[in-house]
Amino acid sequence: MFVGVTVLLLSWASCALSAQYQERYLDVPVDHFSFSRTNETFKLRFLVVEQFYVKGSPIFFYCGNEADITTFFDNTGFLLEIAPIFNALVVFAEHRYYGLSMPLGARSLSPSEGLRLLTTSQALADFVRLIDHLGGQYFGTMLTNDTFPVVAFGGSYGGMLAAWLRMKYPHVVLGAVASSAPLLQMNNLELCQAFYRSVTESFAANGNCSYPVKLSWAAIRNLSETVQGRRSVSQVFKLCKPLESSEDAGKLIDTLVDIYVNLAMLNYPYPTHFLAPLPANPVKSFCDKLRSFGVVETAVELLQAVSSALEIATNFSGNTQCNNIETTVEQPVDYAWDFQACFELVMPICSSALDMFEPTQWNYSKYAQDCSRKYQVTPYSSNGVLLEHGGRILKYASNIVFSNGLSDPWCSGGVLKNVSDSVVAVLIPQAAHHYDLRAAHPVDSHYVLEARKFHVGQIKKWLNIP
């Protein structure tokens, strides 16, 4: 899950798992909910791992979210690790408008027109068509005649999709493991402060290093009032393009906020390459490095310490020449998630004076206005996704596990209590964003191991396996 804008300072990377996937494509309708003369289709990309599959066994179906599907394949090893237990076919389906799955070809990411078919309902319908196709191919039967066992998985927004897929299409998937899915964050003003509060707690728990971070904002603002000060700040943060005005300070701050959020969200106990390369325990790593500077006496010294400590993220490779702070969504590849966050997946986030961030208010009407201007779209209402998928009304669902790592800031919007016997919550202490879906690692806590064991048990229950 990305907050606000993609973290552009961090570059993407991926690492290959041992299991080999086949990359395939299925023609699916561009628009599932209208008929047209041309019956336009596009190629939905999906990855298939057949090596564990025995005919008649289930399909494990990962609901792709807001990135190239290989990113999720590389960071969701859990499916491949448990596939042999179930002789399962493993499929990772790409989400429309991400990676190589572009419904309207080259014009898909055009802000004013191309993105109009980027909705959760269309994405779910893509997955249903793909599952129907897989049924024909692997079970020799279409859903029209029979059903076959499919278990959905997803992390973050993908976890929402997995849960909704089970809720909307229970005849298509038997159950869903939804990890770190902040279903309840949407349109939920009550939770506005919870996200940044959780990030703050992560840093505060590491020798109170939230405190110097909090002081750094005023230092940046004050220095940026003068030409000389802006020059200092630009040098300290090694900015590719020096600050030119006091307004530019806001861009720098937005960028830094995104980095802190990512450190908390991706605070895994070993080095990872998910949204960006990060060291083990990045929050602790940042805080330890910051503390090593001892007492600082000036604003510039404070910022030097912060900037230097942040190099665990901004200069992981050691080769970063300069840092870019153009955090506004400017590349077409960023439009898709920004569009979704604008119109359907609106998650109110704000911060108070108690947090390590500058206080910010949630102003929906300004947010909506900015979004409408950017994409020339005016949604019918702000509650569309709640009407469509039910919001917090989950009691009619069945066979869903909602898991949340308690150190993940997104857990603030997660389902943290059992809803019923078959819609259950799993809380994983000290775990970051969808940690449980990652491949096993020697330093995994027993909490994570227990969570994964629980998932396997639930899946067996759904499949009637003793």
Number of residues that bind a copy of itself (CB under 8 A): 51
> Are 14 and 70 contacting, i.e. CB atoms less than 8 angstroms apart?
yes
Task: Given the residues 74, 334, 338, 408, select the one marked as catalytic.
Answer: 408
Q: Residue 253 phi/psi, 5° resolution?
A: -60, -45
Structure tokens at 84: 């042999």
Q: To the nearest whole angstrom, how small is the minimum distance from the Cβ of residue 39 to a copy of itself?
A: 5
Q: Which is nearer to a copy of itself, 132 or 201 (CB)?
A: 132
Q: Which is nearer to a copy of itself, 204 or 377 (CB)?
A: 377
Stretch that binds a copy of itself, among 12-20, 166-174, 299-307, 442-450 (CB under 8 A): 166-174
Adjacent-strand bridge partners of 402: 178, 425
Among 54, 85, 100, 142, binds a copy of itself (CB under 8 A): 142
What span, in angstroms and rounded, lies between the C-alpha atoms of 40 and 22? 25
Q: Residue 43 phi/psi, 5° resolution?
A: -90, 110
Q: To the nearest whole angstrom, how small is the minimum distance from the Cβ of residue 136 to a copy of itself?
A: 10
Site mask for a copy of itself (CB under 8 A), range 333-372, x = bound: ----------x-----------------------------
Binding flag, residue 454, a copy of itself (CB under 8 A): no
Stretch that binds a copy of itself, among 82-90, 327-335, 388-396, 444-452 (CB under 8 A): 388-396
Binding flag, residue 464, a copy of itself (CB under 8 A): no
DSSP 432-461: -TTGGGSPP-TT--HHHHHHHHHHHHHHHH
Which pairing describes strands 400-405 and 175-179: parallel, antiparallel, or unpaired? parallel
Structure tokens at 361: 């208010």
Among 14, 51, 187, 308, binds a copy of itself (CB under 8 A): 187
**Residue 266: CB partners within 8 Å, gap ≥ 6?**
272, 274, 275, 276, 278, 282, 432, 433
Among 18, 36, 321, 365, binds a copy of itself (CB under 8 A): 36
Q: Is 156 among the catalytic positions?
A: yes
Binding flag, residue 143, a copy of itself (CB under 8 A): yes
Adjacent-strand bridge partners of 401: 177, 424
Adjacent-strand bridge partners of 405: 428
Q: To the nearest whole angstrom, how small is the minimum distance from the Cβ of residue 122 to a copy of itself?
A: 6
CB atoms within 10 A of CB 319: 6
Binding flag, residue 39, a copy of itself (CB under 8 A): yes
Q: Is 433 among the catalytic positions?
A: yes
Q: To the nearest whole angstrom, how small is the minimum distance from the Cβ of residue 296 to a copy of itself?
A: 47
What span, in angstroms and rounded, lies between the C-alpha atoms of 458 and 160? 18
Stretch that binds a copy of itself, among 18-26, 92-100, 351-359, 374-382 (CB under 8 A): 374-382
Stretch that binds a copy of itself, among 60-68, 108-116, 348-356, 454-462 (CB under 8 A): 108-116
Q: To the nearest whole angstrom, how small is the minimum distance from the Cβ of residue 36 to a copy of itself?
A: 6
Among 54, 280, 393, 443, binds a copy of itself (CB under 8 A): 393
How many angstroms from the chain centroid is the CA of residue 391? 19
Q: Is 455 among the catalytic positions?
A: no
Binding flag, residue 380, a copy of itself (CB under 8 A): yes
Stretch that binds a copy of itself, among 31-39, 48-56, 289-297, 426-434 (CB under 8 A): 31-39
Task: Given the residues 95, 433, 434, 455, select the one marked as catalytic.
Answer: 433
Closest CA to 390 of 425, 419, 348, 366: 419
What span, in angstroms and rounded, lies between the C-alpha atoms of 58 and 396? 24
What span, in angstroms and rounded, lies between the C-alpha atoms of 204 and 356? 9
How many angstroms from the chain centroid is the CA of residue 106? 25
Among 13, 311, 390, 454, binds a copy of itself (CB under 8 A): 390
Structure tokens at 145: 């005649």
> From the DSSP assignment, how many helices (H) and strands (E) are in the chain?
14, 10
Give the position of tokens 């008929």.
35
Task: Given the residues 74, 95, 126, 156, select the one marked as catalytic.
Answer: 156
> Are 25 and 45 contacting, i.e. CB atoms less than 8 angstroms apart?
yes
Binding flag, residue 317, a copy of itself (CB under 8 A): no
Residues that bind a copy of itself in the complex, under the rule CB under 8 A = 28-29, 31-37, 39, 41, 112-113, 115-119, 121-122, 125, 128-129, 132, 142-144, 147, 168-172, 187, 343, 375-380, 383-384, 386-388, 390-391, 393, 396, 398
**Looking at the annotation, which residues are catalytic?**
156, 408, 433
